[in-house]
Chains A and B, each alone.
Chain A
Amino acid sequence: MASSPDRPLRFTFAISSYDHARAVVDGRIAIEGTAPLFFQLPLPEMFRRFVKGQDWDVSEVSFVKYMTMRAAGDDRLVGIPVFPSRMYRHTAIFVRSDRVQAPEDLVGGRIGITEWTNSAGVWGRGLLADMHGVQASDVTWYQGGVDRPGRAVVLQAPHLSADVDVRTVSDRSLEEMLWTGDLEAIIVPVAPPSVATSAASGGVIRRLFEDSGGAERAYREKTNCLPMMHVIAMTRALVERDPDMPARIYAAMEQARADYFARVRDDEASRVPLPWLGEHLARLAPAGTEVWPYGVEPNRDSIETLLRYGRAQGLVTGDVAPGDLFPEWQSAGTGP
């Protein structure tokens, strides 16, 4: 049944903490006609429970997992092009500096990952291929728990090519294997303390890109990407209850995003304690463009790049265009 002013639609929405989404979560910006219940959980649990069991109605979810499901024709989840978390993942690649000095040294090596469909890993492998010619088939991949053995694999790659060697380790952690030299590198969204400490203090385990800012800017120059990690998606059942939900949630999230940047520009008071932030942002986005856009068109290069990585990494097959990932939102006709 569709919502109405006297019968607000009640639904559950899991999302992590973001300054650019906060106004929706604390209710200052309403999702029209609804009475949402928000909650926050650790990201891996949030993604796992939403992808496997749809434990709630709307969720932040791994964009790679969403893309993989949607491209395979699994349309239990309905996404909208709202990307709360975006980061370059050059800083997610850690290497044994006694064996790897340059990205090209990874050819023939063993790299640990949390699972093949982890967003940081997909973008990390993509940048190694695009910028340094290191292909997925050049490396032996070990998926496992980062700081303890065993990690449930939420989603398998459906179309993995036979020449890509992905092994699962369940009795050792990636952290331990890196220290004992059974791995040359790991690509992990959050580094365990021993790895982070070593990298910060110039120990044997280091970041592959010591000048990550320089490497990230070169990648941006070449690909025009601002990698999206997460997307907002909802259950098919919610959309069947009210087909307007993709458009309404998008409108509220977009309003919160725009409000964030309006607050940065506020000349009445320093809403954000970062002097000269406006200058920093202006350098990143030419006049008339957004630094951190939602929607399909302003993100076309980033989404197409990820789809290309998806095809190379066995997540996506055939012709899938960015708009094909958001058909319900596109048919609502409410955004770029």
Chain B
Amino acid sequence: MYALQQEHCLVMPAFAKIQDYELNLSNQFVNAETIAALSEYILDQTALLNEKVSK
């Protein structure tokens, strides 16, 4: 589980650079564990962002 950082920012796995609404994993080997971590990051960050927007 990722620890909450300042301003509710989480840490993103280094292999996953989301920029300008785009995620490109081309030619990067990804196993089940790294994808599980990325998916968890996406879910957590999305929840935080939705919470921020709804306030």
> Do the two chains bind?
no
B residues in contact (CB < 8 Å) with A: none
A residues in contact (CB < 8 Å) with B: none
